[in-house]
Amino acid sequence: MIFELPKLPYSPNALESVISQKTIEFHYGKHHQAYVNNLNNLIKGTELEDEDLEYIIKNSEGGIFNNAAQVWNHTFYFYQFAPKGKGTPSNALLKAIEKKWNTMEEFKKEFNQAAATLFGSGWAWLVVNKNGDLEITKESNAGTPLTKGLKPILTFDVWEHAYYIDYQNRRSDYLNALWEIINWEEINQRFDK
């Protein structure tokens, strides 16, 4: 199938003060688009060309895996935001967070810590593991929990292209700011699914 860059559920300047329009234009408009284009070119004429994105991620390696996983990861990342944030964690999600980290604040602290200490490029993830419990994981480069039987709920992109225009080398400031624009209604749905 021919993949397309998914439309953002907000305007490019809607996340300003946390993620600038300029960052959206590069991160979404150039990087995310490039992963889509690369993937389409790489699967052309291969046995994967008629498969869906998750199948390709779970059944490829090298360049095809990297681009397919980056398409999926970026869509998942961009779709978890709303201007000034939206909603609050559901009772069920809050209960699961408190079971593992005692408080929401402690969870955010540990999540930021995982993302801040990820060496090089990659992603921090909140996932549901095989026992149904929440867990924080880190993935380098294009790594994604989809290949590990984990259900992703939330992710912070810590590739420099995600924050360098707005925060330069201050990755921690970027991580702290992201919590202001989380769309908890979207996160709750992912958790319930």
35 binds Mn ion (CB under 5 A): no
Do residues 12 and 25 make contact, with C-beta atoms less than 8 angstroms apart? yes
Q: How many residues bind Mn ion (CB under 5 A)?
A: 3
Residue in the shown chain whose Cβ atom is closest to Mn ion? 157
* Cβ nearer to Mn ion, comparing 75 with 112: 75
Which residue type sits at 119? Answer: F
* Minimum distance of Mn ion from residue 74's CB (angstroms): 6
* Minimum distance of Mn ion from residue 159's CB (angstroms): 4
* Minimum distance of Mn ion from residue 27's CB (angstroms): 6
* Cβ nearer to Mn ion, comparing 159 with 191: 159
Joined together, the tokens standing for residue 136 give 């924080």
* Rounded (10°) angle between helices 91-101 and 104-116: 70
* Cβ nearer to Mn ion, comparing 6 with 129: 6
Backbone angles phi, psi at 154, to 5 degrees: -155, 145
Backbone angles phi, psi at 102, to 5 degrees: 75, -50
User: 31, 3, 39: which is closest to 121 by C-alpha?
Assistant: 31
* Minimum distance of Mn ion from residue 9's CB (angstroms): 17
Site for Mn ion in 146-165 (CB under 5 A): 157, 159, 162
Joined together, the tokens standing for residue 84 give 């000034």
CA–CA distance, 138 with 124 (Å, rounded to integer): 5
* Cβ nearer to Mn ion, comparing 34 with 94: 34
CA–CA distance, 81 with 139 (Å, rounded to integer): 21
| Interface contacts to Mn ion, rule CB under 5 A | 157, 159, 162
